[in-house]
Amino acid sequence: MAAGSNDNVIEDNKVTGNTNGIVLVAGTTGNVVRRNIVVANPPVQISVTFPQADGVDIRNGATPGTNTIDDNICLTAVNAACPDVDARGKKDKKDRKDK
Domain ranges of the chain: 9-85
Q: At residue 99, does pLDDT exceed 50?
A: no
Model pTM?
A: 0.76
pLDDT reported for residue 2: 85
State the Cα–Cα distance between residues 83 and 93, nearest whole angstrom: 10
Exposed / middle / buried, residue 8 (Cβ in 10 Å: 0-12, 13-18, 19+) = middle
What's the pLDDT score for residue 87?
Answer: 54
* 8-44 residue pLDDT tens: 999 999 999 888 999 999 999 999 999 999 998 876 6
Q: Which helix (H) or strand (E) holds 44?
A: helix 44-49
